[in-house]
Amino acid sequence: MSNWRAASANAEAILEVENLTVDFDTEDGVVHAVRGVTYSLMPGEVLGIVGESGSGKSVSSMALMGLLPRSARVRGSIRYRGSELIGIHRRDLEAMRGTKIAMIFQDPMTSLNPVHRIGNQIAEALRIHHDDMSRQAARDRAIEMLQLVGIPNAAERARSYPHEFSGGMRQRAMIAMTMVNDPDIVIADEPTTALDVTVQAQILEILQRVKEEFNSSVILITHDLGVVAGMADRVMVMYAGKPVEFGTVDQIYENPRMPYTLGLLGSLPRLDSDGTERLTPIRGAPPSLIALPPGCPFQPRCPLAQPLCNDVEPELMATDDSNHTAACHYSSELEGDVEAVEIFEVTTDDSELIPELADDL
Amino acid sequence: MSQSSTSVTTPEDAEAVRGPTGPGPEREFTVAARSQRSMVARRFIRHRLAAASLVVLVFVILLSLVGGRLWKYDYSRTYSDFPINGGPSLDHPLGTDSVGHDLFAQVLRGAQKSVQIMLLVAIVSTTIGIVIGAVAGYYRGFIDAILMRLIDLILTIPLLVIAAVLSVRASKSGSFALALVLGALVWTTLARIVRAEVLSLREKEFVEAARALGASDRRIIFKHLLPNVTGSIIVSSTLTMATAILLETALSFLGLGIKSPETSLGKLVSDGATAAQTRPWLFYGPGFFIIVIVLCVNFIGDGLRDAFDPKQTRVRA
Amino acid sequence: MLAFIIRRFLIAIPLVIVSSFLVFIMVASSGTPQPLENARLRPNPNPAQIRVLELRYHLDKPLVTRYWLWLKDAAHGDLGVDNNSRPVGEQLRQGMLVTLRLVVVALVIAILIALVVGVVSALRQYSVFDYSSTFASFLFFSLPVFWLAVLLKEFGAIRFNNLIGHTWVYTVGEQSVRLPHSFWARMGDYAGHMVLPCLTLVLISFAQYSRFTRASMLETMNADYVRTATAKGATRKRVVTRHALRNALIPVTTVVALDFGAVLGGAIITERVFQWRGMGTLLIRGVTQYDPNLVQGWLMVTAVTVVVFNLLADITYAWLDPRIRL
| Average pLDDT estimate for B268-295 | 82
Residue C219 has pLDDT above 80, yes or no: yes
- Inter-chain residue contact C146 with B253, CB threshold 8 Å: yes
Contact C266, C201 (CB under 8 A): yes
C283/B166 CB distance under 8 A: no
Taking the alpha carbons at both ends of chain B, their separation in whole angstroms is 26
Please indicate if any CB of chain B lies within 8 Å of the CB of C31. yes
B31 touches A at CB < 8 Å: yes
Q: Could you read off the pLDDT of A151-185 as tens digits, one per residue?
A: 999 999 999 999 999 989 999 999 999 999 999 99
Helix extents (H) in A54-190: 57-65, 90-96, 108-111, 118-129, 135-148, 154-157, 167-179
Q: Which of residues 132-191 of C touch B (CB under 8 A)?
A: 138-139, 141-147, 150-151, 153-154, 158
- How many whole angstroms separate alpha carbon C209 and alpha carbon C137? 9
The residues pairing with A50 across neighbouring beta strands, listed in sequence order, are A222, A237
Q: Which chains touch C (3 or more CB pairs under 8 A)?
A: A, B
Band of the pLDDT at A2, cuts 50, 70, 90? very low
Q: Does residue A124 contact residue A209 with C-beta atoms inside 8 Å?
A: no
- Express as a percent the part of chain B with pLDDT over 70: 78
> Domain spans of chain A?
108-182, 255-360
How does pLDDT run across A288-334, given as a tens digit for each residue?
888 788 888 888 888 888 888 888 888 888 888 888 888 888 878 77
Q: Which of B118, B52, B129 is nearest to B300 (CA)?
A: B52
Could you tell me the CATH number of the domain that includes residue B229?
1.10.3720.10
The answer to pTM > 0.95 is: no
Order of strands across the sheet with A46-50? A101-104, A185-189, A217-222, A46-50, A234-239, A242-248, A325-326, A317-318
- Inter-residue contact A127 to A193 (CB < 8 Å): no
Q: For chain A, which chains pass the contact test of at least 3 CB pairs under 8 Å?
A: B, C
Position B177 in a domain: yes
Looking at the complex, does the CB of residue C16 fall below 8 Å from at least one CB of chain B? yes
CA distance B27 to B17: 7
Q: Nearest-CA residue of chain B relative to A70?
A: B315
- Would you call A305 and B7 a contact, using CB atoms and an 8 Å cutoff? no
pLDDT by residue (tens digit) across C285-295? 888 888 888 88
Ordered by where they begin, the domains of chain C are: 2-32+79-325 (1.10.3720.10)
Question: Using CA atoms, how far apart are residues A71 and A73, in angstroms rounded to an integer?
Answer: 7
Scanning C32-51 for CB atoms below 8 A from B yields: none
| Cβ–Cβ below 8 Å for B3 and A312 | yes
- Which of C107, C124, C145, C147 to substitute to test the interface with B, most B CBs within 10 Å? C147
Angle at C304 between CA C298 and CA C308, to 5 degrees: 145
Domain count, chain B: 1
Res. B44: pLDDT tops 70: yes
CB contact B27 to A (< 8 Å): yes
Asked if C7 reaches chain A (Cβ–Cβ under 8 Å), the answer is no
The answer to whether residue B3 scores a pLDDT higher than 70 is no
Cβ–Cβ gap B160/C272 under 8 Å: no
Q: How far apart are CA C276 and CA B76, in angstroms?
A: 35
Q: Do B29 and A306 touch (CB under 8 A)?
A: no
A65 contact residues in C (CB cutoff 8 A): 231
Top pLDDT among C72 and A344 is at C72
Phi-psi category of C276—alpha, beta or left, where left has phi over 0 and alpha has psi -120 to 50?
Answer: beta
Closest chain C CA to residue B166? C30
Judge whether B266 is closer than 8 Å to chain C, CB to CB.
yes
Give the H/E segment covering residue C222: none
> Which has the minimum average pLDDT: A12-26, A58-72, B38-52, B142-156?
B38-52
Q: Does A333 touch chain B (CB under 8 A)?
A: no
CA nearest to B258, candidates B179, B203, B185, B157: B179
Q: Please judge whether B255 and C288 are an interchain contact, meaning their C-beta atoms are less than 8 angstroms apart.
A: yes
What number is the average pLDDT over the span A211-222? 92
The pLDDT value given to residue C3: 80
Does the residue B316 lie in any domain?
no
**One-character DSSP codes across chain B:** --S-TT--S-HHHHHHH--SSSS-SPP--SPPP--HHHHHHHHHHHSHHHHHHHHHHHHHHHHHHHHHHHSSS-SS---TTSPTT----SSSTT-B-SS--BHHHHHHHHHHHHHHHHHHHHHHHHHHHHHHHHHHHHH-HHHHHHHHHHHHHHHHS-HHHHHHHHHHHHGGG-HHHHHHHHHTTTTHHHHHHHHHHHHHHTTSHHHHHHHHTT--HHHIIIIIIGGGGHHHHHHHHHHHHHHHHHHHHHHHHTT-S--TTS--HHHHHHHHHTTTTTSHHHHHHHHHHHHHHHHHHHHHHHHHHHHH---------
Phi, then psi, of A23 in degrees rounded to 5: -120, 145
Give mean pLDDT, residues C248-276.
Answer: 88
What pLDDT does A10 receive?
Answer: 46
Q: Is residue B312 part of a domain?
A: no
The H-assigned helical ranges of A248-345 are 249-254, 259-266, 307-311, 340-343
Report CB contact under 8 Å: A303, B29.
no
DSSP reduced 3-state for A361 = coil
Most confident of B75-79, B220-224, C178-182, C261-265: C261-265
Kindly report the nearest CA distance between residue A85 and chain B, in angstroms.
23
From the list A25, A69, A292, the residue facing B6 with the nearest CB is A292
State the average pLDDT over residues A100-121.
Answer: 91
Quick one: angle between helices B141-156 and B188-201, nearest 10?
160
Omega before B261 within 30 of 0, i.e. cis: yes
pLDDT at B30 over 70: no
Which residues of chain A lie closer than 8 angstroms to C234, CB-CB? 94, 124, 128
Position A310: which residue type?
N
Distance CA A81, CA A58 (A): 22
What is residue C281's three-state secondary structure? Answer: helix
Phi, psi of C256 (to 5 degrees): -60, -40
Contact B14 A294 (CB under 8 A): yes
The pLDDT confidence band at residue C200, using thresholds 50, 70 and 90, is very high
- Give the domain range for residue B156: 37-71+94-307
**Per-residue pLDDT tens for C91-136?**
889 899 989 989 999 999 999 999 999 999 999 888 899 989 988 9
Residue B82 placed within a domain: no
CA dist C190 and B194 (Å) reads: 45
Is B56 an 8 Å CB contact of chain C?
no
The minimum CA-CA distance between A258 and chain C, rounded to whole Å, is 34
Full DSSP string of B236-293: HHHHHHHHHHHHHHHHHHTT-S--TTS--HHHHHHHHHTTTTTSHHHHHHHHHHHHHH
Q: C-alpha angle A37/A195/A102, rounded to 5°?
A: 45
B91 or C241: which leads in pLDDT:
C241
Inter-chain Cβ pairs, chain B and chain C, closer than 8 A = 132
DSSP element (H, E) containing A191? none
Neighbours of chain B (3+ CB pairs under 8 A): A, C
Contact residues, chain A, for B312 at CB < 8 Å: 27
In a domain, B206, yes or no: yes
CB contact under 8 A, A161 and C224: no
Contact B169 C138 (CB under 8 A): no
Spatial distance between the Cα atoms of B115 and B59, rounded to a whole number of angstroms: 12
Q: Does A98 have pLDDT greater than 80?
A: yes
Task: Please report, for residues A344, C72, C74, C298, the alpha-carbon distance to residue C77 in angstroms, rounded to integers and kept in the order given.
Answer: 85, 9, 5, 13
CB atoms within 10 A of CB B79: 11
CA distance linking residue C12 with residue C305, whole number of Å: 11
B84 found inside a domain: no
B237 found inside a domain: yes
Of A55, A80, A38, A23, give the one whose Cα is nearest residue A221.
Answer: A55
What is the interface pTM, i.e. ipTM, of the complex? Answer: 0.81
Are A204 and A227 in contact by the 8 Å Cβ rule? The answer is yes
